[in-house]
Amino acid sequence: MTKLLIKNGRLVNPASNFDGIADILVEDGKIKEIAENITAEADKVIEAGGLVVAPGLVDVHVHFREPGQTHKEDIHTGALSAARGGFTTVVMMANTNPTISTVPVLEEVLASAAKEDINIKSVATITTNFDGKHLTDFSALLEAGAVGFSDDGIPLSDSAMVRSAMQEAVKYDTLISLHEEDPALTGVLGINDGEVSHKCGFTGAPTVSEYSMVARDAMIAYDTKARVHFQHMSAKESVEVIKFVKSLGANITSEVTPQHFSITEQEILTVGTNAKLNPPLRREEDRLAAIKGLQDGTIDVIATDHAPHTHEEKDQELTKAPSGMTGLETSLQLGLTHLVDEEYLTLSQLLEKMTLNPANLYGFDAGYLTEGGPADIVIFDDKKKVVIENDFASKANNTPFINQELTGKVIYTICDGNVVYEG
Residue 261 marked as a ligand binder? no
Residue 278 marked as a ligand binder? yes
In whole angstroms, what is the distance from residue 115 CA to residue 176 CA? 27
Terminus-to-terminus CA distance in the chain, angstroms?
25
Helix (H) or strand (E) holding 406: strand 405-415
28 belongs to the catalytic site: no
Residue 232 marked as a ligand binder? yes
Residue 64 marked as a ligand binder? yes
Residue 193 marked as a ligand binder? no
DSSP secondary structure string for all residues of 250-266? --EEEEE-HHHHH--GG
Residue 95 marked as a ligand binder? yes
Query: Whose CA is closest to 181, among 145, 117, 231?
Result: 231
Residue 134 marked as a ligand binder? no
349's CB contacts (< 8 A; 6+ apart) are 14, 294, 295
Query: Whose CA is closest to 415, among 78, 47, 57?
Result: 57
In whole angstroms, what is the distance from residue 161 CA to residue 155 CA? 11
Give all strands of the β-sheet with 301-302 in edge-to-edge order.
Answer: 149-150, 175-178, 227-230, 252-256, 301-302
Q: Which of 182, 300, 305, 376 is catalytic?
A: 305
Helix (H) or strand (E) holding 84: helix 75-84
Residue 398 marked as a ligand binder? no
Q: What are phi and psi of 411, to 5 degrees?
A: -100, -45
DSSP secondary structure string for all residues of 334-387? HHIIIIITTTSS-HHHHHHHHTHHHHHHHT-S-S---TTSB--EEEEEEEEEEE
Residue 309 marked as a ligand binder? yes
Burial 211-224 (b: 16+ CB within 10 A, else e): bbbbbbbbbbbbeb
C-alpha of 232 from chain center: 9
In whole angstroms, what is the distance from residue 72 CA to residue 66 CA? 9
Q: What are phi and psi of 219, to 5 degrees?
A: -75, -35
Residue 229 marked as a ligand binder? no
**Binding region:** 61, 63-65, 95, 152, 179, 232, 278, 305, 309
**Binding region for Zn(2+):** 61, 63, 152, 179, 232, 305
**Binding region for substrate:** 63-65, 95, 278, 309
Question: Which residues are part of the catalytic machinery?
Answer: 305
